[in-house]
Amino acid sequence: MDCLINTARDVRLLCENKILHNCLGDDEVVANMFNRLRDSVALPLYNFYGDIFHNVNEYCDRRWSRWIANLRHNYFNTPWTIISVFAALFLLILTLTQTVFSVLAYFQ
């Protein structure tokens, strides 16, 4: 949890998205509580989620993953945009096919 919440801004973001409910009042107090929480908790020697945590962070740090996420978030956020892109690609393929056959008919 310490890597999830570092500042009051992180707490505010989690509260706005209804992931966290702040009953303490101040976001800074909640951030400090989460940052100090790891000092008081005894963890087992083998962390079962450590590999998953590492793999998720490694995936999110890749440039390609960030580009795809940005593309989906900004341009393909509704099904209609995806449908319109497929329709445009289909029409482009049909136009290209018609052009190829027109050129072939001209040379025959």
Contact yes or no for 35/29 (Cβ under 8 A) = no
Mean pLDDT in residue range 19-36: 88
Provide the domain limits for residue 84: 77-108
- Burial grade of 11 (CB within 10 A; 0-12, 13-18, 19 or more): buried
Q: 2-6, 71-75, 93-97 — which is least confidently predicted?
A: 2-6
pTM: 0.50
85: in domain = yes
Domain count, the chain: 2
69 assigned to some structural domain: no
Q: What is the pLDDT of residue 2?
A: 62
**Is residue 52, in this structure, part of any structural domain at all?**
no
Given pLDDT bands bounded at 50, 70 and 90, which one contains residue 35? confident
Q: What pLDDT digit, counting tens, does each position of 54-68 carry? A: 899 899 999 999 999
